[in-house]
Structure 1
Amino acid sequence: MKILIYDCHKGKVQESEKIKKALLRGHPDLEIDIAEVRKFQFPDTGNYDAFIVSGADGHSEKHAWPRLIKEQISKIIEIGKPVLGVCFGSQILAELNGFEIITLKKPEIGWVQVNLTDLGKEDQLFKELPTSLPIYQYHIRAVKGDGKVLAESKNCIQAVKYSDTIYGIQFHAEESPESGKEYLKTDRKCENYDEASALAPEEYIEWKIYRNFIDIITKTVK
């Protein structure tokens, strides 16, 4: 199976490299490419079986790339290929599916407790994961709407299922305790490191969400 990760960060492709690493942890036989959206890299979608849209370190509607990636994902959905949106990527999927994007009163930075809904407890995306677990966050915008919500935190929706092969996750399941702590120590937006890292788990199990996504879509890829 061949996967394309659309990287939406500004000069931080290493964040998408973490997604790639998490994917390969569960499925080492995957072929994975990374396209830098801000450099207007949009490879032929016919060469890929599924797509992942990364988070983004801020954006402006004045820029062309947010509109272009949204148009690209809309076309991918129309042809029926699987998509997983992460953070900013999840917000793109939300907008395309009639959800609202809201700004939280306070950003979620660091590990936040995420609770599965009844739908989430039954969905294969969270297979072999507890019904409540801390997962790394880094966002102030979030999605709001009615639909198949799979997970929530105290402040917002955390995961939505838009179809059998299209999911959005607000959190960063690619971030391990080690890499997350390392980033927060030097991040200017992290005002309280102790608070942000207080719920960091000892064991990194969130990577299973990426494995589970691939397991879900495998039967649809010919």
Structure 2
Amino acid sequence: MRLHYLQHVPFEGPGIIRSWSKNNNISLTRTRLYEDEELPPPREIDGLVVMGGPMGVYDAKRYPWLKKEKRFINNCIDRGIKVLGICLGAQLIADVLGAEVNSMNQKEIGWFPLNWNESARNHRLLDFLPTNQIVLHWHGDQFSLPGGALSLASSKGCANQGFLVDEQIMGLQFHLEITKDGLDELIQHSNNELKRSDGPFIQSPVTMLNAPHFEENHHTTRKLLNRFFSSPS
């Protein structure tokens, strides 16, 4: 399998997806959009992961490559390629599919409980999921559900935390994939954002880095990747 990921900033990489790919003999390539690298022809990949980033889907004036990225995502979807979006990636997919993406009343940054919906836990691809799980959130935008999408999860801070469309397209608002080193790097590059933010869903860097949830989240990530990318769309 040829898996490709789109990276928006240097400090938000694939996390545990990299080791999962290596352990499963999956080819993993990337496009660093922030360096204006060329996107591959969709015919040359079998799966796509769209990573997170601090920008919004509506920031094309500041980040012109967002337009070509959206076209690329749409082309991959049209070709039947499996597409997984994480945080900004999920928002970009939702936008491509015609759903609304807008700012939340308050940001969600830190480890907070997630409720996996019963419809998700009853789905054949996701029947291993627990009822509740503490996951890492880092977002100030939210999406509405694309047409025909199965709602996967919710939290107190955000009603729509994930969606699945036709077993081909998945969007997750949160970061199951992130490693402790990756979170440390994200905090270092986003410290100004934390200083400007407060509210019930904002945690301190120390609290986030000392959380005991990384391995559980990675276990979920590996199972999710195995199911999603191995099943026919």
Question: What TM-score, normalized to structure 2?
Answer: 0.81
Q: Distance in 1 between matches of 2:210 and 2:152?
A: 21
**Alpha carbons of structure 1 residues 16 and 120: separation in structure 2 relative to 1, 3 Å:** same
Deviates most, 97-106 or 121-130: 121-130
1:131-210 alignment runs, 5 A limit: 131-145=131-145, 147-156=149-158, 157-177=160-180, 179-180=182-183, 183-184=186-187, 187-191=191-195, 192-193=203-204, 197=208, 200-207=211-218, 208-210=220-222
**Residue 134 of structure 1 contacts residue 200 of structure 1 at CA under 8 Å; is this kept in 2?**
no
Per-residue CA deviations over 1:61-83 (Å, capped at 9, x if unaligned) read 21321111101111111111110
Q: 2:43 aligns with which of 42, 46, 62?
A: 46
- Post-superposition Cα deviations, 1:120-163, rounded to whole Å, max 9, x if no partner, equal 21235545342111111111011123631111111221110022
Asked if 2 retains the 8 angstrom alpha-carbon contact of 1:23 and 1:211, the reply is no
Aligned residue-pair number: 217
More deviation in 114-123 or 54-63? 54-63
Q: Measure how far apart 1:37 and its partner are.
A: 1.9
Q: Percent identity?
A: 22
Residue 73 of structure 1 corresponds to which residue in structure 2? 73
Match of 2:228 among 205, 216, 220: 216
Per the TM alignment, residue 8 of structure 1 is displaced from its structure 2 partner at its CA by 1.7
Matched, 1:32 2:28: yes
Q: Which amino acid aligns with 1:189?
A: E
**Superposition deviation, residue 54 in structure 1:** 0.7
Check the 8 A contact 2:106/2:140 in 1, yes or no. Answer: yes
Change (3 A) 1:169 1:65: same
Quote the Cα distance in structure 1 between the aligned partners of 2:163 and 2:91.
10
**Structure 1: any 5+ residue segments left out of the alignment?**
none
Once the two structures are superposed, what CA deviation does each residue of 1:76-133 show, in whole Å capped at 9, x if it has no partner? Answer: 1111111001111101111122321121111111112110111121235545342111
Q: RMSD of the alignment, in Å?
A: 2.6
Secondary structure of 2:39 counterpart: coil
d(CA) in 2 for partners of 1:110 and 1:102? 20
Call closer, same or farther: CA 1:19–1:43 in 2, change over 3 Å: farther
